[in-house]
Amino acid sequence: MKGLVYNITFFFQMGVFIIMLYYLVISFFGLYKKKENSKDVAPEKSFALVVAAHNEEMVIGNIIDSLKLMDYPKELYDIYVIADNCSDNTAKIAREHGAIVYERFDDVKKGKGYALEWMFNILFNMDKKYDAVVVFDADNLASRNFLKELNKKLKEGYKVVQGYIDSKNPHDSWISESYSISFWTANRLFQLSRSNLGLSNQIGGTGFCIDMEVLKEIGWGATCLTEDLEFTCKLVLNGQKVGWAHNAVVYDEKPLTLKQSWRQRKRWMQGFADVASRFFFKLMKKAIKDRDFVAFDCALYTIQPFIIVAFGLSTILTMLQGYSADGMNIFIISYLFSPIVWKILSVFQFLFTPFVMYLENKLSKKLLVYFSLYSLNIFIFDYMFDPDSKLIYIVLAHAIFLGSFMLVIKNFEGKLAFKMFIWYLLYGIYTLTWLPITIQGILDKDNKEWAHTKHTRQISISEIENLDESIA
């Protein structure tokens, strides 16, 4: 029986390890950022900028103002707001700020996906024609060069382009910081890496544009809880690739509390599980039949909820083997390498994210050095304590070590650096919460009810620009 357990866990753990290794190898290609051609590309493409809004009177004015400030000929773009099932002053405020507003009321077909499909049909039937449509959320702000960068990518031949999703409020709480870290790293290690490799990028829900002819041909039809992933799958199945505009930045408001975050991420996982059930095998069939690695990579992405659960189960198996008195004859990944190799890998894992943040100008060089010095604790305490040392002494030593870093950083680097240091350590807790959230999302995947996130912060594009400059 023990031999059977060992063999089953061997194949399971190795499968998880290979998938993690796949993502790690892909991510390395995002460390390199190609130098952009400094020569300006003449503005040519015309855009319909569509802002989906449901009861967003607090923030709708700021997104319209930021879009009006973009460094692009005003005659080549128009701003449309969908006031979707609004019971507040969203439509009124949007009109006052200069947007073209369409009000939609539908008690049955609720949610952003349905609202976009409704608006796209209106655009198709207009006398005025646009080359592409760009989608934003009401809480967004856009960088001034946003349309310039999209114009450049469309002229390179891409039909669908995703912009860089950044954070409006990264330092408001440890949750908003954790969100921001995950988006910064995903932009570099997931999106830019795939752009460098010639794979398809993923639509991120906002800050993306679609060629109008492609939209007519394929049709939107993406009305689930993760309409962005659904439409990406449709594009790949139809032989299209999503391009990546790393310098076209859209700023998104992140949740402040764990409760808000839990609800939003659960919705994402519900949508992922739903899309995976409908598209995974179609994409794999295309990947095998056409030898299409782009389809394979997209298929693998759709099953993220199941990969997260598998990784969590792998971690639990490792803990069971490590903490059982005589072992349970479970194969664990640590058997593959010596303890010193795992310590080095642990330091690498801890520093990889801060290094990416540094590359993205979200972390100062000084703070990266502090993280590097702090990461040495795994070697220091291994030298100071043996396996028989009392737990209370080990915990006390860790507390003193951490407290010393906190004191030095706060006194010499300031409040913002202090918060970023502490909140990066809490980022691990945020990451762990993905497991129960994902399980809930998978179990509840057939619930299509849209959960609206209320936005309460008024932030202007100039405030964002000043924040980026202060960190850099």
| Residues 127-185 pLDDT 10s | 999 999 999 999 999 999 999 999 999 999 999 999 999 999 999 999 999 999 999 99
Residues 6+ apart with CB under 8 A from 325: none
| Cα–Cα distance list, 400 to 393, 403, 405, 406, 412 (Å) | 11, 5, 9, 10, 18
Mean pLDDT over residues 410-420, rounded?
94
Residues 28/193, Cβ–Cβ less than 8 Å = yes
Side-chain half-sphere of 468: how many Cα atoms within 13 Å?
A: 14
211 and 154 Cβ atoms separated by less than 8 Å: yes
Which helix (H) or strand (E) element contains residue 47?
Answer: strand 47-53
Q: Looking at residue 111, what is its pLDDT?
A: 85
Cβ–Cβ contacts within 10 Å for residue 277, how many?
A: 14
Answer whether 67's CB lies under 8 Å from 143's CB: no
CATH H-level, domain 47-302: superfamily: Spore Coat Polysaccharide Biosynthesis Protein SpsA; Chain A (3.90.550.10)
**Residue ranges covered by each domain of the chain:** 2-17+308-434, 47-302
Check if the beta carbon of residue 242 is closer than 8 Å to that of residue 205. Answer: no
What does the pLDDT read at residue 415?
Answer: 94
Q: What is residue 316's predicted lDDT score, i.e. its pLDDT?
A: 85
The CA distance from 453 to 450, in Å, is 10
Cα separation, 231 vs 223, in Å, equals: 9
Residue among 111, 108, 445 at smallest CA distance from 278: 445
pLDDT in tens, 375-406: 999 898 888 888 778 889 889 999 999 999 99
Distance CA(174)–CA(425), nearest Å, equals 10
Predicted confidence band at 222 (pLDDT cuts at 50, 70, 90)? confident
Q: What's phi and psi for 80, nearest 5 deg?
A: -115, 140
User: What pLDDT score was predicted for residue 455?
Assistant: 63
What confidence category does residue 198 fall into, taking pLDDT thresholds of 50, 70 and 90? very high
Residue range 38-97, pLDDT digits in tens: 577 899 999 999 999 999 999 999 999 999 999 999 999 999 999 999 999 999 999 999
Distance of alpha carbon 344 from alpha carbon 165, whole angstroms: 32
* DSSP per residue, 86-112: --SSHHHHHHHTT-EEEEE--SSS-SH
Reduced to 3 states (helix: H, G, I; strand: E, B; else coil), residue 243 is strand
Question: Which three-class secondary structure state does DSSP give residue 429?
Answer: helix
Task: Determine the residue type at 349.
Answer: Q
Written as one letter, the residue type at 96 is E
Judging by DSSP bridges, how do beta strands 160-167 and 242-252 pair with one another?
parallel
Is beta strand 77-84 parallel, antiparallel or unpaired with respect to 100-104?
parallel
